[in-house]
């Protein structure tokens, strides 16, 4: 089988037009990502997912950001409303891992019912006193071991529901004092502190199928953001031990400087497997797909390994899961 296109791309609206269908057929992206503009109703989302897969002629992975709280693309009345993860965890106390597992299993059922089979979670960045507000309430805590324990519960709930988790933001965004959507964060902590705290949850969850990079400079290691750094990707592979599919965070974020096509090539040259591009016009998507080309043999093998972990979860009694969750909350 030919290697997939080394991109994950999005759609402009609620359905694909003929130009987008032709583009996706030619670019053959590894997968797709959905945003609020792509979501109107359950039937519409299912139809859009079908069109995406028909365009590439295979069961491509379709992901979404459904963390709960501020970062939640699916919302009431059609879908569940979720508290921010940190609020949920603090309310749950000793039962936090069970609560987060249950809600992830319910999320997975809601996603799979639409044709969505991946979620950009768990977020296992460790809170510090200086964590930027854009991230804090999305985190699971300030203790690396506890963050890893809850991250495992979230990942397991998704996997049990047939949804591939995307662990983020490897190797750790918690020390960043700026929002990488707007600026390039720089972290000055020494390598031993990073290893003991920031990298630790990612190492504990290194067996997960996919991970998303952090657009953060770790000055102890390199002067380039992790997404574009061969040294940081080597660290992710050899020190943290992650051997799954490594995708970039959105390369259109303002943390990165350069044209999208040049950033796509630079991230792949650094060792990332696939480029995520979001919220871009069609001509930019074309340029990035052209620059990214096809996955390397190693990247394609990791992609196939990740896809092999999708399961058919079968029937599940969502009302019973929700009742159990309500008892614990």
According to the model, what pLDDT value does residue 229 have? 98
5-9 and 29-34: which strand pairing?
Answer: parallel
- Residues belonging to the active site: 181, 249
In this prediction the pTM is 0.96
Judge contact between 48 and 16, C-beta under 8 A: yes
According to the model, what pLDDT value does residue 254 have? 87
Confidence of residue 1 (pLDDT cuts 50, 70, 90): low
Judge contact between 132 and 178, C-beta under 8 A: yes
d(CA 220, CA 65): 30
Q: Quick one: average pLDDT of 119-143?
A: 95
Domain 5-328: give its CATH superfamily.
Glycoside hydrolase, family 3, N-terminal domain (3.20.20.300)
d(CA 81, CA 74): 8
Strand partners, 210: 166, 245
Q: Quick one: average pLDDT of 293-309?
A: 98
Q: Give 312-329 as a DSSP string.
A: ------HHHHHHHHHHH-
Q: Quick one: average pLDDT of 111-125?
A: 98
d(CA 67, CA 154): 10
Strand order from edge to edge, sheet including 164-170: 118-119, 164-170, 210-213, 245-247
217-218 and 71-72: which strand pairing?
Answer: unpaired
d(CA 21, CA 56): 9
- Per-residue exposure over 211-246, b if at least 16 CB sit within 10 Å of its own CB, e if not: bbbbbbbbeebbebbbbbbeebbebbeebbebebbb
- Percent of the chain at pLDDT > 70 equals 100
According to the model, what pLDDT value does residue 143 have? 98
Q: Quick one: average pLDDT of 58-76?
A: 97
According to the model, what pLDDT value does residue 46 have? 98
| pLDDT at residue 182 greater than cutoff 90 | no
Tokens of 156: 């397991």
| pLDDT at residue 315 greater than cutoff 90 | no
Query: pLDDT tens for residues 230-281?
Result: 999 999 999 999 999 999 999 999 889 999 999 999 999 999 999 999 999 9
| pLDDT at residue 317 greater than cutoff 70 | yes
Confidence of residue 5 (pLDDT cuts 50, 70, 90): very high
Helices (H), the chain: 18-27, 42-56, 85-92, 96-112, 133-136, 144-160, 191-193, 200-204, 230-238, 260-270, 282-292, 297-307, 318-328
Strand partners, 34: 64
Helix (H, G, I), strand (E, B) or coil at 211: strand
Q: Quick one: average pLDDT of 282-298?
A: 98
pLDDT averaged over the chain?
96
According to the model, what pLDDT value does residue 195 have? 97
Judge contact between 103 and 156, C-beta under 8 A: no
| Domain limits, the chain | 5-328
Q: Quick one: average pLDDT of 108-119?
A: 98
Q: Quick one: average pLDDT of 65-81?
A: 96
Q: Write the DSSP symbol of residue 10.
A: -
Residue indicated by tokens 């309500």: 326
Judge contact between 105 and 157, C-beta under 8 A: yes
Say which range, 25-34, 142-151, 175-184, 299-308, has the weakest mean pLDDT.
Answer: 175-184
């Amino acid at each position: 089988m030919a290697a997939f296109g080394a991109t994950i791309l999005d759609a402009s609206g609620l359905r694909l037009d003929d130009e987008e269908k032709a583009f996706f057929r030619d670019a053959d992206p590894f997968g797709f990502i959905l945003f609020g503009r792509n979501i109107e109703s359950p039937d519409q989302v299912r139809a859009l997912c079908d069109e995406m897969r028909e365009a590439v002629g295979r069961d491509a992975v379709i992901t979404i950001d459904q963390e709960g709280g501020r970062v939640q693309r699916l919302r009431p009345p059609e879908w569940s409303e979720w508290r921010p993860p940190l609020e949920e965890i603090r309310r749950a106390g000793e039962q936090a891992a069970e609560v987060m597992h249950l809600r992830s299993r319910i999320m997975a059922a809601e996603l799979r019912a639409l044709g969505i089979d991946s979620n950009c979670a768990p977020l296992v960045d460790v809170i510090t006193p200086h964590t930027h507000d854009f991230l804090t309430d999305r985190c699971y805590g300030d203790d690396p071991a506890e963050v890893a324990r809850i991250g495992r519960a979230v990942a397991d709930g998704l996997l049990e529901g047939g949804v591939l988790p995307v662990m983020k933001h490897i190797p750790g965004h918690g020390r960043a004092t700026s929002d990488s959507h707007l600026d390039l964060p720089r972290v000055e902590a020494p390598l031993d502190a990073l290893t003991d705290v920031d990298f630790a949850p990612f190492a504990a969850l290194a067996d997960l199928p996919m991970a998303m990079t952090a657009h953060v400079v770790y000055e102890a290691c390199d002067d380039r953001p992790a997404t574009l750094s061969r040294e940081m990707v080597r660290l992710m592979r050899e020190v943290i031990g992650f051997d799954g599919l490594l995708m970039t965070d959105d390369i259109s974020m303002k943390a990165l400087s350069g044209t999208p096509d040049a950033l796509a090539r630079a991230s792949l040259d650094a060792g990332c497997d696939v480029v995520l591009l979001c919220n871009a016009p069609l001509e930019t998507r074309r340029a990035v797909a052209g620059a990214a080309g096809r996955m390397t043999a190693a990247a394609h093998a990791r992609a196939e390994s990740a896809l092999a972990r999708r399961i058919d979860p079968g029937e599940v009694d969502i009302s019973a899961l929700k009742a159990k969750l309500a008892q614990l909350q």
